[in-house]
Amino acid sequence: MKFETELERKAFEFICDLAEEAIDAKGCNDLDDQDGFAFAECITIDGEGNKVSARNDFEIIWWLKEQVSK
């Protein structure tokens, strides 16, 4: 993901921060089955020495942040 402007980057970070706050407020990070299966099929993250399917909402946010071009 590449941002065209600094405003786009700030907006992205704002949305990620809101999502992280919402996750913390819920107290549960497990995705429900419908969302979990949708993401698990296409998003993998680094696990303990291997790639694992994303099954938690915080893993989706982490993966999304990693897609940003530095």
Whether the full predicted model's pTM is greater than 0.75, yes or no, is no
What range does the domain containing 35 cover? Answer: 29-70
The CA dihedral of 52, 57, 60, 66, to the nearest 10 degrees, is -100
What distances in angstroms separate CA 6 from CA 10, 11, 25, one per listed residue? 6, 9, 29
47 in Cβ contact with 54 (< 8 Å): no
pLDDT in tens, 1-45: 789 999 999 999 999 898 888 877 665 666 777 766 677 778 888
What was the pLDDT predicted at 15?
92
Flag whether 5 is in a domain: no
What was the pLDDT predicted at 7?
95
What was the pLDDT predicted at 29?
64
Flag whether 33 is in a domain: yes
Determine the distance from the C-alpha atom of residue 17 to the mean position of all C-alpha atoms in its chain, rounded to a whole number. 11
What was the pLDDT predicted at 64?
87
Flag whether 1 is in a domain: no
| Residue 56 burial (10 A CB sphere; 0-12, 13-18, 19+) | middle
Mean pLDDT of 36-60: 80
